[in-house]
Amino acid sequence: MADSLFDITGKLALVTGSSRGLGNALATGLAERGARVILHGRNADTLAVVARAMHEATGAEIEIACFDITDAQAVREGVAALVEAHGTPDILVNNAGLQRRAPFAEFDPADWDALIATNLSGVFYVANALAAKMSERGSGKIVNIGSVQSMLARETIAPYAASKGGVAMLTRGMAADLARYGLQINCISPGYFQTDMNTALWQDTEFDAWIRKRTPAQRWGQLEELVGTLVYLCSDASNFVSGQNIFVDGGMTSVV
Protein backbone atom coordinates (compact mmCIF):
# COMPACT_ATOMS: atom_id res chain seq x y z
CA MET A 1 0.00 0.00 0.00
CA ALA A 2 2.76 2.45 0.93
CA ASP A 3 4.64 1.78 -2.29
CA SER A 4 1.55 2.18 -4.49
CA LEU A 5 0.79 5.59 -2.99
CA PHE A 6 3.71 7.14 -4.88
CA ASP A 7 3.63 4.77 -7.87
CA ILE A 8 3.55 6.46 -11.29
CA THR A 9 4.40 3.35 -13.30
CA GLY A 10 2.76 3.45 -16.72
CA LYS A 11 1.51 7.02 -16.36
CA LEU A 12 1.84 9.14 -19.49
CA ALA A 13 3.65 12.41 -18.80
CA LEU A 14 4.18 15.41 -21.09
CA VAL A 15 7.05 17.64 -19.94
CA THR A 16 7.42 20.89 -21.85
CA GLY A 17 10.87 22.28 -22.54
CA SER A 18 12.49 18.94 -21.73
CA SER A 19 15.32 18.63 -24.23
CA ARG A 20 17.84 19.94 -21.68
CA GLY A 21 18.35 21.50 -18.26
CA LEU A 22 15.66 21.46 -15.61
CA GLY A 23 12.99 20.00 -17.89
CA ASN A 24 15.24 17.15 -18.93
CA ALA A 25 16.06 16.36 -15.29
CA LEU A 26 12.35 16.31 -14.40
CA ALA A 27 11.49 14.12 -17.38
CA THR A 28 14.34 11.74 -16.53
CA GLY A 29 13.14 11.52 -12.93
CA LEU A 30 9.66 10.51 -14.09
CA ALA A 31 11.04 8.00 -16.59
CA GLU A 32 13.27 6.41 -13.96
CA ARG A 33 10.17 5.77 -11.88
CA GLY A 34 8.28 4.02 -14.64
CA ALA A 35 6.36 6.80 -16.35
CA ARG A 36 5.98 6.92 -20.10
CA VAL A 37 7.39 10.31 -21.06
CA ILE A 38 6.69 12.66 -23.95
CA LEU A 39 9.61 15.03 -24.37
CA HIS A 40 8.75 18.43 -25.80
CA GLY A 41 10.70 21.17 -27.53
CA ARG A 42 10.93 23.10 -30.78
CA ASN A 43 13.70 21.12 -32.52
CA ALA A 44 12.65 17.64 -33.61
CA ASP A 45 16.19 16.49 -34.37
CA THR A 46 17.43 17.46 -30.92
CA LEU A 47 14.42 15.83 -29.27
CA ALA A 48 15.03 12.59 -31.15
CA VAL A 49 18.61 12.40 -29.92
CA VAL A 50 17.60 13.21 -26.32
CA ALA A 51 14.73 10.71 -26.42
CA ARG A 52 17.02 7.92 -27.61
CA ALA A 53 19.55 8.65 -24.87
CA MET A 54 16.84 8.81 -22.18
CA HIS A 55 15.35 5.48 -23.32
CA GLU A 56 18.78 3.83 -23.23
CA ALA A 57 19.46 5.24 -19.76
CA THR A 58 16.09 4.45 -18.17
CA GLY A 59 14.49 1.73 -20.28
CA ALA A 60 11.30 3.80 -20.29
CA GLU A 61 9.02 4.47 -23.24
CA ILE A 62 9.99 7.91 -24.55
CA GLU A 63 8.10 9.84 -27.24
CA ILE A 64 8.53 13.36 -28.58
CA ALA A 65 6.26 16.31 -29.36
CA CYS A 66 7.49 19.35 -31.26
CA PHE A 67 5.54 22.63 -31.19
CA ASP A 68 5.94 26.27 -30.14
CA ILE A 69 4.20 26.88 -26.80
CA THR A 70 3.98 30.63 -27.50
CA ASP A 71 1.69 30.00 -30.51
CA ALA A 72 -1.84 29.12 -29.35
CA GLN A 73 -2.81 27.49 -32.66
CA ALA A 74 0.42 25.47 -32.80
CA VAL A 75 -0.25 24.27 -29.25
CA ARG A 76 -3.80 23.19 -30.09
CA GLU A 77 -2.57 21.29 -33.14
CA GLY A 78 0.44 19.79 -31.35
CA VAL A 79 -1.59 18.65 -28.35
CA ALA A 80 -4.30 17.18 -30.60
CA ALA A 81 -1.66 15.23 -32.50
CA LEU A 82 -0.01 13.79 -29.41
CA VAL A 83 -3.38 12.85 -27.88
CA GLU A 84 -4.33 11.05 -31.09
CA ALA A 85 -0.99 9.22 -31.16
CA HIS A 86 -0.52 8.41 -27.48
CA GLY A 87 -3.72 9.22 -25.59
CA THR A 88 -4.40 12.00 -23.10
CA PRO A 89 -1.47 12.47 -20.72
CA ASP A 90 -2.04 11.61 -17.08
CA ILE A 91 0.58 14.20 -16.14
CA LEU A 92 1.48 17.60 -17.57
CA VAL A 93 4.60 19.36 -16.36
CA ASN A 94 4.65 22.96 -17.62
CA ASN A 95 8.38 23.59 -17.43
CA ALA A 96 9.38 25.51 -20.58
CA GLY A 97 10.71 28.95 -19.73
CA LEU A 98 13.31 31.60 -20.46
CA GLN A 99 15.13 34.42 -18.70
CA ARG A 100 16.14 37.91 -19.82
CA ARG A 101 18.03 40.36 -17.59
CA ALA A 102 18.38 44.15 -17.69
CA PRO A 103 17.81 47.13 -15.39
CA PHE A 104 14.09 47.94 -15.37
CA ALA A 105 14.39 51.33 -17.12
CA GLU A 106 16.48 49.71 -19.87
CA PHE A 107 14.38 46.59 -20.34
CA ASP A 108 13.43 46.04 -23.97
CA PRO A 109 9.64 45.67 -24.37
CA ALA A 110 10.31 42.88 -26.87
CA ASP A 111 12.05 40.94 -24.12
CA TRP A 112 9.06 41.52 -21.83
CA ASP A 113 6.78 40.12 -24.54
CA ALA A 114 9.02 37.07 -25.00
CA LEU A 115 9.11 36.35 -21.26
CA ILE A 116 5.34 36.60 -20.81
CA ALA A 117 4.68 34.59 -23.98
CA THR A 118 6.90 31.70 -22.89
CA ASN A 119 6.71 31.70 -19.10
CA LEU A 120 3.03 32.52 -18.64
CA SER A 121 1.00 32.33 -21.86
CA GLY A 122 2.69 29.06 -22.79
CA VAL A 123 1.62 27.51 -19.48
CA PHE A 124 -1.96 28.61 -20.13
CA TYR A 125 -2.02 27.43 -23.75
CA VAL A 126 -0.80 23.89 -23.04
CA ALA A 127 -2.91 23.38 -19.92
CA ASN A 128 -5.95 24.87 -21.66
CA ALA A 129 -5.51 22.47 -24.58
CA LEU A 130 -5.41 19.43 -22.26
CA ALA A 131 -7.83 20.43 -19.50
CA ALA A 132 -11.03 19.37 -21.27
CA LYS A 133 -9.64 15.91 -22.11
CA MET A 134 -8.40 15.38 -18.55
CA SER A 135 -11.71 16.61 -17.15
CA GLU A 136 -13.72 14.24 -19.36
CA ARG A 137 -11.62 11.37 -18.03
CA GLY A 138 -11.98 12.59 -14.45
CA SER A 139 -8.29 12.64 -13.57
CA GLY A 140 -5.07 14.51 -14.28
CA LYS A 141 -2.01 15.99 -12.62
CA ILE A 142 -0.76 19.36 -13.79
CA VAL A 143 2.46 20.69 -12.28
CA ASN A 144 3.49 24.21 -13.26
CA ILE A 145 7.09 25.26 -12.66
CA GLY A 146 7.39 28.58 -10.85
CA SER A 147 10.40 30.06 -9.09
CA VAL A 148 11.45 31.73 -5.87
CA GLN A 149 10.72 34.80 -8.01
CA SER A 150 7.05 33.81 -7.76
CA MET A 151 7.39 35.40 -4.31
CA LEU A 152 10.67 37.33 -4.22
CA ALA A 153 11.98 40.08 -6.50
CA ARG A 154 15.56 40.86 -7.41
CA GLU A 155 17.11 43.63 -9.50
CA THR A 156 17.32 43.23 -13.31
CA ILE A 157 14.62 40.51 -13.53
CA ALA A 158 11.34 42.30 -12.75
CA PRO A 159 9.57 40.93 -15.87
CA TYR A 160 10.71 37.38 -15.06
CA ALA A 161 9.38 37.78 -11.51
CA ALA A 162 6.09 39.06 -12.93
CA SER A 163 5.80 36.05 -15.22
CA LYS A 164 6.53 33.57 -12.43
CA GLY A 165 4.20 35.35 -10.02
CA GLY A 166 1.59 34.94 -12.72
CA VAL A 167 2.29 31.20 -12.89
CA ALA A 168 1.65 30.87 -9.15
CA MET A 169 -1.69 32.67 -9.40
CA LEU A 170 -2.66 30.86 -12.59
CA THR A 171 -2.09 27.62 -10.69
CA ARG A 172 -4.57 28.70 -8.03
CA GLY A 173 -7.10 29.79 -10.62
CA MET A 174 -6.79 26.52 -12.49
CA ALA A 175 -7.34 24.60 -9.26
CA ALA A 176 -10.47 26.65 -8.54
CA ASP A 177 -11.92 25.68 -11.93
CA LEU A 178 -10.66 22.14 -12.38
CA ALA A 179 -10.36 20.42 -8.98
CA ARG A 180 -14.06 19.46 -9.14
CA TYR A 181 -13.28 17.32 -12.21
CA GLY A 182 -10.67 15.22 -10.46
CA LEU A 183 -7.64 17.23 -11.55
CA GLN A 184 -4.90 18.38 -9.18
CA ILE A 185 -3.02 21.49 -10.27
CA ASN A 186 0.02 22.56 -8.28
CA CYS A 187 3.22 24.54 -8.67
CA ILE A 188 6.83 23.73 -7.83
CA SER A 189 8.97 26.82 -7.28
CA PRO A 190 12.69 26.02 -7.34
CA GLY A 191 15.27 28.14 -5.61
CA TYR A 192 18.69 28.60 -7.15
CA PHE A 193 19.78 25.48 -9.03
CA GLN A 194 22.82 25.02 -11.22
CA THR A 195 21.09 24.94 -14.61
CA ASP A 196 21.99 26.00 -18.14
CA MET A 197 19.74 29.06 -17.85
CA ASN A 198 21.70 30.55 -14.93
CA THR A 199 25.22 29.40 -15.80
CA ALA A 200 26.45 33.01 -15.68
CA LEU A 201 25.19 33.28 -12.10
CA TRP A 202 26.71 30.18 -10.55
CA GLN A 203 30.01 30.83 -12.31
CA ASP A 204 30.11 34.36 -10.85
CA THR A 205 32.11 34.02 -7.61
CA GLU A 206 30.48 37.06 -6.00
CA PHE A 207 26.95 35.91 -6.80
CA ASP A 208 27.80 32.34 -5.77
CA ALA A 209 28.93 33.61 -2.37
CA TRP A 210 25.75 35.67 -2.01
CA ILE A 211 23.52 32.66 -2.77
CA ARG A 212 25.32 30.49 -0.24
CA LYS A 213 24.95 33.19 2.42
CA ARG A 214 21.32 33.98 1.53
CA THR A 215 20.17 30.33 1.50
CA PRO A 216 19.84 28.58 4.89
CA ALA A 217 21.10 25.35 3.31
CA GLN A 218 24.21 27.35 2.28
CA ARG A 219 24.43 25.82 -1.20
CA TRP A 220 22.85 25.65 -4.64
CA GLY A 221 20.22 23.01 -5.31
CA GLN A 222 20.94 19.93 -7.39
CA LEU A 223 18.40 19.11 -10.10
CA GLU A 224 17.67 15.63 -8.78
CA GLU A 225 16.43 17.26 -5.57
CA LEU A 226 13.32 18.45 -7.42
CA VAL A 227 12.27 14.97 -8.49
CA GLY A 228 10.82 13.81 -5.17
CA THR A 229 8.41 16.74 -4.97
CA LEU A 230 7.43 16.22 -8.60
CA VAL A 231 6.74 12.50 -8.10
CA TYR A 232 4.63 13.30 -5.04
CA LEU A 233 2.53 15.81 -7.00
CA CYS A 234 2.15 13.36 -9.90
CA SER A 235 1.08 10.40 -7.73
CA ASP A 236 -2.01 9.39 -5.77
CA ALA A 237 -0.27 10.66 -2.63
CA SER A 238 -1.38 14.18 -3.60
CA ASN A 239 -4.98 13.46 -4.62
CA PHE A 240 -6.39 16.07 -2.19
CA VAL A 241 -3.69 18.67 -2.84
CA SER A 242 -4.51 21.39 -5.36
CA GLY A 243 -3.64 25.03 -5.93
CA GLN A 244 -0.44 24.83 -3.88
CA ASN A 245 2.94 26.38 -4.59
CA ILE A 246 5.72 24.27 -3.06
CA PHE A 247 9.07 26.03 -2.71
CA VAL A 248 12.09 23.76 -3.13
CA ASP A 249 14.69 26.35 -2.26
CA GLY A 250 16.86 25.31 0.66
CA GLY A 251 14.83 27.63 2.91
CA MET A 252 15.45 30.84 0.96
CA THR A 253 11.85 32.09 1.01
CA SER A 254 11.50 31.36 4.73
CA VAL A 255 14.09 33.87 5.95
CA VAL A 256 15.04 37.53 5.60
Q: What is the per-residue pLDDT across 109-158, written as a single tens digit (0 to 9) for each?
A: 999 999 999 999 999 999 999 999 999 999 999 999 999 999 999 999 99
Q: Is residue 241 part of a domain?
A: yes
DSSP run (H or E) holding 145: strand 140-145
**Residue 67 domain boundaries:** 2-247
Chain segment 77-112, per-residue pLDDT in tens: 999 999 999 999 999 999 999 999 999 999 999 999
Mean pLDDT of the chain: 96
Q: Is residue 254 part of a domain?
A: no
Residue 160 bears catalytic tag = yes
Instruction: Give the Cα separation of 126 and 185 in Å (integer).
Output: 13
Instruction: Give the Cα separation of 238 and 207 in Å (integer).
Output: 36
Chain segment 151-205, per-residue pLDDT in tens: 999 999 999 999 999 999 999 999 999 999 999 999 999 999 988 778 888 899 9
Of all residues in the chain, the percent with pLDDT exceeding 70 is 99
Instruction: Give the Cα separation of 3 and 94 in Å (integer).
Output: 26
Q: Which one of 125, 160, 192, 232 is the catalytic residue?
A: 160
The total domain count for the chain is 1
Q: Is residue 253 part of a domain?
A: no
Residue 42 sits in a domain whose CATH number is 3.40.50.720
